[in-house]
Amino acid sequence: MTPELMRVGAKLRQEHEERQKSRDTESGGRQASFGRLVRQGEADFTQGVALYLDNISVSFDGFKALNALTLEINVGELRCIIGPNGAGKTTMMDVITGKTRPDAGTVFFGSTIDLLRMTEPQIAQIGVGRKFQKPTVYEQLTVFENLELALKADRRARASLFSRLTAEQLDRIGEMLTLIHLKANAQRTAGLLSHGQKQWLEIGMLLMQDPKLLLLDEPVAGMTDEESERTAELFLSLEGRHSLVVVEHDMKFVDQLTQSRKRVTVLHEGSVLAEGLLSDVQNDQKVVEVYLGR
Ligand code: ADP
Ligand code: MG
């Protein structure tokens, strides 16, 4: 979940509690009290580049978690990133989302936005969504309410935060419920979902905000085989509309995502060790040595 979403969630809950307290009294002026949306500079994707990392280095007490990492993700591309534990995959996502500041290098979102000049909430707002490994949904709310919250936290729909859902918004939530295979569970409390379903719900919440770039850190860890397959189908259906960076250890899942034609990136000791088709990198001697051969 994005920091922005958590902030909005806390606000919504507070509002909800206040409304419960004064159920019979009409508060009024709710709309009027709400501030206007501040527009952020839009990113430029006309050059075909969604994300560009150049020479990124991150040190923790002298240890280089990222070492001159250079990586380019195209608009609409689905890129899988593999690599042994400690390779720097999560640190890379921390740098992209503004959680960790690199010692050196540049990070561009589209061709004009320098992410290193932006804060974590600003980066989320401009269209970078991140799925952490652990599912973070509002357990006490229903599936539907979780999606509603995410929709209303959308940077472009802020003005309607406390208003009723429009027909169009209802349709969007309905479509999302279908996409994430949770239509039959719409009124279920999120806390009662399976681990895999919670993961889908969180992905759905991220998608409600229509991110240009979606970062997914080990999204199928802990899922059943069937859930993993459905997750792969979901990601494949997002390809083209969003750029996706998927970090994953499950090679069956990666194989399904790449469909034997997409490039994967192998990270090792903070930089790119190999890049190419999964079948090629799997047979690459240096990849076998550091990773797959274990
Ligand atoms: P991966 O996600 O590929 O398994 P990480 O990016 O989590 O790898 O970690 C890369 C290396 O950086 C690891 O050796 C890890 O111990 C180290 N590291 C990550 N975050 C921190 C931190 N906040 N402080 C110190 N060391 C860290
Ligand atoms: Mg990691």
pLDDT at 3: 59
The finding on whether 88 has its CB within 6 A of some atom of ligand 1 is yes
Domain ranges (residues) in the chain: 47-127+215-294, 136-210
The answer, yes or no, to whether residue 277 has pLDDT greater than 90, is yes
What is the 3-state secondary structure of 162-180?
CCCCCHHHHHHHHHHHHHC
The finding on whether 87 has its CB within 6 A of some atom of ligand 1 is yes
CATH superfamily, domain at 47-127+215-294: P-loop containing nucleotide triphosphate hydrolases (3.40.50.300)
Q: Name residue, tokens 């990113």.
A: 43
Nearest ligand, CA 217: 2
* 89 Cα: distance to centroid of ligand 2 (angstroms): 5
The finding on whether 89 has its CB within 6 A of some atom of ligand 1 is yes
The answer, yes or no, to whether residue 30 has pLDDT greater than 50, is no
Helix (H, G, I), strand (E, B) or coil at 292: helix
pLDDT at 291: 80
Question: Which residue is closest in CA terms to ligand 1's atom 15?
Answer: 86
The answer, yes or no, to whether residue 19 has pLDDT greater than 70, is no
